[in-house]
Amino acid sequence: MPLPETPAADWIDHRDTLQDWLAGLPADAAIGLDTEFMRRNTFYPQLALLQLGWNGRYALLDPLAFEIGNCLQPLLGSGPAVTVMHSAGEDLETLAPLLPDGPATLFDTQIAAAFVGMGLGISYRALVAELIGVELDKGETRSDWLQRPLTDSQRSYAVLDVVYLKRIHEQLAERLRQRGRSAWHAEDCARLKARASHRDGDPQPQRAMRGAAEWSEARQARLRLLLQWRDRSARRFDVPRPWLLDDNLAMNLAQQPPATLAELEQRCRGQRALRSAQRNDLFELLIKAITAEDIAATASIPAHPQGAAKQALAAMKQLVDARAAELDLPAGLLCPRKVLEEYAVTNEWPEFLDGWRRELLHDDLLNLLPG
């Protein structure tokens, strides 16, 4: 398989240069976009580079040199242009300060590939090899993208991440059209955008802590308040959540709150971002009595399926697998096992299964719920 040749790309570190570059694009262009970002010591990803490509023209934008968001918004954020990205979740999160609602129209090539029978979660490198017949080098994956100047190798790697998006988009869009899946793909892309633009944190973070499913309502409520405090603090101080409290410590503190501040300090040793002021706030939260309102506001943590729910889950999984095979879709795209587990336990229709999935699955899955 041949190695790629890297085309020339404009290095853009001034606002006027970017505006001139964008002015050469049609309003309805399909624009390839990728980002390089760093997220080692922060809560928020640090945008280090943004790559654009259209019709053989390529640009590397330096967001460390100037504010690029208000230049991108008219074309990508509110215009008729299509933004073509691969596995866009983290990129959209990184771009959220620049494009708060994401691109107006997103075409995610990884999602499209899943809809046309190429498997769930295919990498950009594998997609380029399959559709273009070119082998990409991933040697700069863990590179320091905040350094300046970038090396020639970094620039080459970054440009090649958008070079093939146009041809991939054209091929996948046609395959989607042939299979009648274009609307499904657009819906899942819109859902991906909505998740990335949700910047207030999960209102029910305790539901991810399956180990606390058998706890009392009061302890689950305290866990929710504790995890919400962790999320707010991580955002405020721009540090990773585990640097304040790792999951195990959060579970431990919610189950057995400390009696004194000194005890809390002892139990929190090693939490690298939990300073004195944050420990004081945390202690006040942990010793506060849990109210009826706290309990009412806390959604129950789904337990692992047992008994009739476990039997129902097996039947549901069999149904989803069969339906996915009929549609030539990955079963995990149609309905992940985790979603089925929650439905079998709670009997509450999952939000994930709204939209095109509801029409395919609702009635049949409903009939399999435990009586």
CATH class, range 10-197: alpha beta
DSSP calls for 155-210? HHHHHHHHHTHHHHHHHHHHHHHHHT-HHHHHHHHHHHHHHHH--S--S-GGGG-G
pLDDT category at 29 given cuts 50, 70, 90 is very high
Q: DSSP 3-state assignment of 34? A: strand
Is residue 316 a contact partner of residue 368, using CB atoms and an 8 Å limit? Answer: yes
pLDDT digits (tens, 9 = 90+) for 276-333: 999 999 999 999 999 999 999 999 999 999 999 999 999 999 999 999 999 999 999 9
What's the pTM?
0.93
Q: Which has more confidence, 197 or 88? A: 88
Level-2 CATH architecture, domain 205-296: Orthogonal Bundle (1.10)
Question: Looking up tokens 């057995």, which residue turns up?
Answer: 256
Q: Of 235, 244, 242, nearest to 45 (Cα)? A: 235
User: Percent of the chain, pLDDT > 70?
Assistant: 98
pLDDT digits (tens, 9 = 90+) for 131-161: 999 999 877 667 899 999 999 999 999 999 9
pLDDT mean over 121-130: 96
Count of alpha carbons within 13 angstroms of residue 33, beta-carbon side: 28
Structural domain boundaries in the chain: 10-197, 205-296, 307-366
Q: How many angstroms separate the Cα of 366 from the Cα of each of 71, 289, 316, 334, 345?
A: 48, 39, 9, 16, 12
Contacting residues for 304 by C-beta, under 8 A, at least 6 apart = 210, 213, 341, 345
pLDDT for 196 equals: 84
pLDDT for 143 equals: 86
Q: DSSP 3-state assignment of 53? A: strand
Q: Of 69, 96, 53, 86, nearest to 189 (Cα)? A: 86
pLDDT mean over 335-342: 96
Please count the other Cβ atoms lying within 10 Å of the Cβ belonging to residue 283: 20
pLDDT digits (tens, 9 = 90+) for 218-268: 999 999 999 999 999 999 999 999 999 999 999 999 999 999 999 999 999
pLDDT for 234 equals: 96
Q: Which residues lie across from 83 on neighbouring strands?
A: 31, 106
pLDDT for 1 equals: 63
Mean pLDDT lowest among 1-5, 168-172, 219-223: 1-5
| Structure-token pair, residue 313 | 């889950």
